Amino acid sequence: MRTQVAIIGAGPAGLLLSHLLAGEGVDSVVLEARSRSYIEQRVRAGVLEHPTVQLLREAGLADRLDREGMPHAGITLRFGEPGERRDHHIDFHDLVGRGITVYGQQEVVKDLVAARIADGAEIGAQLWFEVSEIAISGIESDAPVVAFTDAEGRRHELTCAAVAGCDGYHGICRPLVAPRTIERTYPFAWLGILAKAAPTHHELVYSHHPNGFALYSMRSPEITRLYLQVPPDTDPASWSDARIWDELGTRLAAEGFHLNEGPVLEKGVTAMRSMVAEPMRRGRLFLAGDAAHIVPPTGAKGMNLAVADVAVLAGALRDLLRGDHRAADAYTRTCLSRVWRAEHFSWWMTSMLHIFDDATEFDRRLQQAQLAYTVSSRAAATSLAENYTGFPHGAVL
């Protein structure tokens, strides 16, 4: 088998790259380890930056997003001493003239798979699910080969001009590219739930509370998405639904705020880490998305970075296939400027909002000072708004 670009992984990065390449007249084949229904049900991110929404619109992928996505003009930060806890609104529209859209990552994935199929991609030809034993060779040549086993156990060889490693944090591509990673792990995790309960607040609430951080988000007029800071080794089974609602009630409490409870549809624990692989390219193998970098979820950046990488990569691969190497040679540098901005923002939001068990009195006072500054200084709030809503695609600084 032959194609121009072999794409490993059908997450947002891999599927969007395949779609953008098709728009540039470049053929690709996507190889995914999981089933189609698994990737379409996997509950993860929910916040789309302004440039992500713009790109999905320009790529003809936003019909359902424009109908069902929930545009937000800002976020709420909730904090304060007992008895003085209150909401502080960060008004993105006022501060930077743009907002964000809440739309589940699995909905983006469903839309992307549907668009590939509507475009003529066939399952078992351009889109493969449940593949295993992927082996990549020849990345230093201009004709790499990707061998894989399909769902029926048949072995195939795919010859291509370039390989895109879009296989996420646990994928096989990163070790083939990056000799080192730069990392930080955080001393806590997030317990996330999806609940059949109507949202009662029109905005996302980031709540700093002595018991730990809590986040109030949503997916639709009927579904709430909620997160709690928990110890890193937490077994989700140790949190009954009643315990979760009780703790959410405590950490999200504020005057005039009511939390609707309802059946818990999904429950999971997410580790919190920062990781950057450098470089993002070796020969004809390019990394994109979580395969190349991880951020803690507090800044809602992970999926948006994946989208920003492939927005750059699609053009770089198109040029490379025409013999122009410049954008491919600049790929790592172009992407890492945005990645490090997002790494800093995500670390900053995480540090400002969570409870650190080993914090000294001095650390706590600094955190309070930072929260107070962020909500009272227009300059500080503008910085949050600029980062949260997203920088235009391409190099950031």
Single residue of 32, 87, 111, 343 touching ligand FAD by CB under 6 A: 32
Alpha-carbon span 300 to 101, nearest angstrom? 11
Closest CA to 287 of 316, 323, 325: 316
Query: CB under 6 A: which stretch of 3-11, 179-187, 364-372, 385-393 binds ligand FAD?
Result: 3-11
| Segment interacting with ligand DHB, rule: CB under 6 A, options 19-27, 39-47, 147-155, 363-371 | 39-47
**Residue 126 interacts with ligand DHB (CB under 6 A)?**
no
- Selected range binding ligand DHB among 42-50, 64-72, 271-279, 355-363, rule: CB under 6 A: 42-50
Q: Count residues contacting ligand DHB (CB under 6 A)?
A: 10
Q: How far is the CB of 101 from ligand DHB (least distance, A)?
A: 11
What's the min distance (Å) between Cβ of 361 and ligand DHB?
28
CB 126 within 8 A of CB 28: yes
The reply on whether position 105 binds ligand FAD by CB under 6 A is: yes
Chain centroid to Cα 279, Å, comes to 20
For residue 272, give Cα distances in angstroms to 121, 127, 301, 357.
36, 31, 13, 15
Stretch that binds ligand DHB, among 5-13, 41-49, 307-315, 360-368 (CB under 6 A): 41-49
Shortest spacing between CB 296 and ligand DHB, in angstroms: 8
Closest CA to 391 of 158, 52, 145, 140: 52
Find out whether 354 and 184 touch, Cβ atoms under 8 Å: no
204, interface contact from ligand FAD, ligand DHB, none, CB < 5-8 Å by kind: ligand DHB
Find out whether 289 and 282 touch, Cβ atoms under 8 Å: no
Q: Which is nearer to ligand DHB, 47 or 291 (CB)?
A: 47
Give me the least distance between CB of 207 and ligand FAD, in Å please.
Answer: 16
Question: Residue written as tokens 């380890």?
Answer: 33
**How many CA atoms, within 13 angstroms, populate the side-chain half-sphere of residue 212?**
18
Write the CB contacts of 7 (distance below 8 Å, at least 6 apart in sequence): 14, 17, 18, 28, 29, 30, 31, 163, 164, 166
- Listed residue (275, 19, 237, 222) closest to 104, CA to CA: 222
| Contacts of ligand FAD in 169-208 (CB under 6 A) | 170-172, 192
Q: Which residue has the tokens 């919190």?
A: 272
**Residues carrying an active site annotation:** 72, 206, 297, 301, 388
* 91, 105 Cβ separation under 8 angstroms: no
| Binding partner of 225, given ligand DHB, ligand FAD, none, CB within 5-8 angstroms per partner class | ligand DHB
Count of residues binding ligand FAD (CB under 6 A)? 36
39 lies in the binding site for ligand FAD (CB under 6 A): yes
CB atoms within 10 A of CB 333: 11
Q: Which residues bind ligand FAD (CB under 6 A)?
A: 8-14, 31-34, 39, 44-47, 105, 131, 134, 166-168, 170-172, 192, 270, 289-290, 297, 300-304, 306
